[in-house]
Amino acid sequence: DAGVIQSPRHEVTEMGQEVTLRCKPISGHNSLFWYRQTMMRGLELLIYFNNNVPIDDSGMPEDRFSAKMPNASFSTLKIQPSEPRDSAVYFCASSLGGRDNEQFFGPGTRLTVL
């Protein structure tokens, strides 16, 4: 398996623009997670899905952020409009589900908002 796939790997955009990050989880995994990593706040969970249904979105910073999982093999995280403080590395992870199963992380998308 190719692992968790994220695109793009790098994104540079200007403040106010819409940004869409994409994730393809490992085939057969039924849980998907979006994390954000910054120097100030470290690694924080934004939202996670189980069987394509959002379970916990309490980490989503504000209404400018939205996430979807239309099917088991694809998810998006959208920021509209983007702001400089959204600059971070965004990771997608997937797992088989359950508290003791490993979450497999993708390589991340480095977002820079100018």
Q: Which residues bind another protein (CB under 8 A)?
A: 4, 31, 33, 42-45, 48, 50, 55-56, 91, 93, 95, 97-108
Report in angstroms how near the CB of residue 68 gets to another protein at its nearest. 19
Nearest residue to 32 via CA among 60, 64, 72: 72
The Cα-based distances of 14 to 65, 88, 100, 107 in angstroms read 16, 14, 40, 23
CB of 75 or CB of 95, closer to another protein: 95
Find, among 10, 21, 9, the residue nearest to 76 by Cα: 21
12 vs 55, beta carbon nearer another protein: 55
| Minimum CB distance to another protein, residue 60 (Å) | 13
Smaller CB distance to another protein: residue 1 or 102? 102
Helix (H, G, I), strand (E, B) or coil at 67: strand
